[in-house]
Amino acid sequence: MRSAPLAPLALAALSLAACAGAPPVVAAPAPPDRAGACPPRPACDAPPPAALPRGFRHSRSRLVASGWPRHRGRDLFARADGPQWAIAKFAYGPQDDDLEDEDVEAYLLRGCSGAWERLGAFRTSDDDHLHPTTEGIPDTGGRLYLDLTAGRRLEVGRHRVHFAVVGDGTSADLFIEVLPPGARVAVTDIDGTLTSSEGAMIGELLGGSPPAAHPGAAGAMRALADSGIYLFYVTARPEWLAGNTRVWLRERGFPPGILRTTIGVTGAFGRAAARYKTIELGWLKARTGIVPSFGFGNMPSDVATYTAAGIAPSRSYYYKLDGDLRGGVGHDDYRRLDAALFTPPAACPP
């Protein structure tokens, strides 16, 4: 059984705290009515099919599963006629021990509406049966790679895939946004850009309250969504925090979007964060042909990323960042951004 490298002690402590209990549910503030606004992206929050644990195939899996689950699905932007993959990782405990060669049930909520479709039962990878690197995700064990173009191709719209581990009923979700021609995307960092500080997440994981959002940040993102723009949340946080991050975005009133993290257990910082985000935006362009219309950040690494990606400097916004913004726009309050940027479009995307 292959395990990820042991994270630093501090991250192990954060991991323990993160899994000690779910944060309290906070009602998201209701967005204001905006004349001519596009319909909101669906929340896609229908209850998934009930999972009935039936036991593991291997006795070693019971030992692995004695830790807390850290399963995660990987969100994706796609085209209707391009590659469409549902990729997930199944692991437990502070060392991110892989759940290998075990069955997982997969379900699809097509268009985020109607009834769940059962896609079937699939086996997680192990050291002897690794999947080729796909969508830039190397297989180190405990992963599933589900090709949705094989008789399950998705049309334009938002979709949700739910995975349930047969052994114990634990689960992971991911979201796929199939973009129409001419779609526009806004990319935003999270820590320090949307959260109250760069390290606010650490306080939450150590038992504190969830971080606040910068005043007006959720409203600015909603205004972009109202203008028919798709939201791309790109953070250098570790992959196992994807679920916590989705909860925070929802509870702070941010609109649904596609969330991407690093694929490691320690996250990325500085130049490594810039490289990771540059790769993510490169994949977006390669798969969809899209260069984001807007970029939001708060660190020099964000400036480097957005410049390399070709985002227009006049539409690259940096929160309380000094130094060379390479023509980007510095600001200290989302509520004072130019309202003309968020005007409703002539036509909304399907």
CA 59 – CA 232 distance, rounded (Å): 40
Identify whether residues 105 and 227 lie together within a single domain. no
Residue 136 located in a structural domain = yes
Angle 300-309/270-288 helices, nearest 10 degrees? 30
Last residue of a domain, one of 118, 149, 179: 179
| CA-to-CA separations, 122 to 57, 107, 144, 154, in angstroms, rounded | 13, 11, 8, 19
Q: How far, rounded to the nearest angstrom, does the alpha carbon of residue 335 sit from its chain's CA centroid?
A: 25
> What is the full DSSP assignment across 120-173?
EEEEPPBTTBPPPPBTTB---SSEEEEETTTT----SEEEEEEEEETTT--EEE
Residues 157 and 261 in one domain: no
* Domain-located, residue 44: no
- State the pTM of this model: 0.89
**Together in a domain, 167 and 206:** no
Please write the tens of the pLDDT for every residue from 318-344: 999 999 999 999 999 999 997 767 776
Do 194 and 157 fall within a single domain? no
Residues 234-272 have pLDDT tens digits of: 999 999 999 999 999 999 999 999 999 998 877 787 888
Q: What is the dihedral of CA 200, 204, 205, 206, to 10 degrees?
A: 100
pLDDT computed for residue 52 by the predictor? 87
Q: Supply the CATH number for residue 70's domain.
A: 2.60.40.10
Asked whether residue 195 falls in the same domain as residue 125, the answer is: no
Edge-to-edge strand ranges of the sheet holding 294-297? 258-260, 229-234, 184-188, 294-297, 316-319, 329-331
Q: How many domains does the chain have?
A: 2
Task: Express each pLDDT in 58-106 by its tens digit.
Answer: 999 999 999 999 999 999 999 999 999 999 999 999 999 999 999 999 9
Q: What percentage of the chain reaches a pLDDT higher than 70?
A: 87
- Same domain as 81, residue 164: yes
Residue 203's closest CA among 140, 149, 248, 139? Answer: 248
Identify which of 206, 208, 211, 199 has the alpha carbon closest to the alpha carbon of residue 298.
199
Domain extent for 91? 49-179
In a domain, 10, yes or no: no
